[in-house]
Amino acid sequence: MRRLLLALALILTVAPAGAERLVSTVSTPTVQITSSFDGTVLSLFGNVESSVPAIPADGPFNVIIVITGPLQDRVARLKTNAYGIWTNTEQVSFRQFPSFYAVIASGKLGDIADESVLAADAIRPEDQALIAAKSIDFKAQRFGSELIRLMTEQGHFVVREDGVRFLSNTAYVAQVTLPSDVANGPFLAHTIVLKNRQMVAEGSQGFAVRKTGFENFVFVASRQQPLLYGIVCVLLALGTGWLAGVVFKR
């Protein structure tokens, strides 16, 4: 009995108090885009567990989930009217900017996470814009804010500070909506578990958005087989013209 108590005491001494680990998953590992695709909703589940089996996870916890889509290069331009002619006068390039970016949290970011945690992972969309612009000057901030506003209106940038719901003290669920014109490619869902506004565990899961059927053939051919893609486009144009001629002739 004394040996058992000694061993348990040793475990408690070696293991850090409140050491947690995250177990999480995504409801759909692959989202298939077809001609009738009009968007979809994904569910993200997780549970906070203790890294020591003999010790239960001790909350309360908060969760922030960041979903990042394929990275793309974008250019934001400012048009001005000079003597009745609209011209591009200023622009900022954003390199490797997320085509989709969602932040889903169990509370207001400033309340559940320390500012150092938010800055370290560049969680706020504004931080992503400054990183992509490789600048923190006023011009990059102004153009970045406008780019984020436009992508938010299109449903490609989302911030929901009430989107994570706890089913118990340690289990949670969240949902994210992918728009109908979501980019094709790999996505990453990065989850951060917080306690007392500090990160105590994290984990990442990947999922993919892929075109299928004829849409996938056109997408792949346009990039890998341009000659075949051109022939198919010509045949489609000829077929559409012939069909229109038959219909209107009647």
Using one digit for the tens of pLDDT, what is the confidence trace for 106-151? 999 999 999 999 999 999 999 999 999 998 888 889 999 999 999 9
Number of C-beta neighbours around residue 31 at 10 A: 18
Full domain range(s) for residue 218: 212-250
Bigger pLDDT: 10 vs 42 = 42
Asked if residue 44 is part of any domain, the answer here is yes
83: confidence class by pLDDT, cuts 50, 70, 90: low
Over residues 170-195, the pLDDT tens digits come to 999 999 999 988 988 999 999 999 99
Maximum pairwise Cα distance, the chain: 98
CA distances from 131 to 93, 125, 134, 144, 161 (A): 11, 10, 5, 10, 22
What is the predicted pLDDT for the residue at 215?
Answer: 58
Output b/e per residue, 157-192; b: 16+ Cβ within 10 A.
bbbebebbebeeebebebebebeeebbbeebebbbb
What pLDDT is stored for residue 94 in this prediction? 93
For the chain, first and last CA: distance in Å? 97
Distance CA 156, CA 183 (A): 9
Same domain, 189 and 222: no
Task: Read off φ and ψ for residue 32, nearest 5 degrees.
Answer: -100, 130
Bridge-based pairing of strands 40-50 and 20-26 is: antiparallel
User: Among 93, 91, 89, 100, which residue's Cα sits nearest to residue 74?
Assistant: 93
- C-alpha 131/C-alpha 77 separation (Å) is 18
Residue 135 included in any domain: yes
Determine, yes or no, domain membership for 131. Answer: yes
Asked if residue 240 has pLDDT above 80, the reply is no
Residue 45, phi then psi, degrees to nearest 5? -115, 155
In this prediction, residue 38 carries a pLDDT of 83
**What's the total number of domains in the chain?**
2
pLDDT band at 164 (very low <50, low <70, confident <90, very high): very high
- Kind and range of the H or E element at 31? strand 30-33
Q: What phi-psi label fits residue 83: left (phi over 0), alpha (psi between -120 and 50 degrees) or beta?
A: left
11, part of any domain: no
Q: In this model, does residue 226 exceed pLDDT 80?
A: no
Confidence of residue 8 (pLDDT cuts 50, 70, 90): very low
pLDDT category of residue 213 using cuts at 50, 70 and 90: low
Q: Read off the pLDDT band of 9 (50, 70, 90).
A: very low
Q: What CATH code is carried by the domain that includes residue 130?
A: 2.60.40.1930
pTM: 0.77
71 and 181 co-located in one domain:
yes
Q: How far apart are CA 247 and CA 90, in angstroms?
A: 49
Residues 122, 203, single domain; the answer is yes
Q: Using alpha carbons, list the distances in angstroms from residue 226 to 35, 158, 177, 211, 220.
A: 22, 35, 33, 18, 9
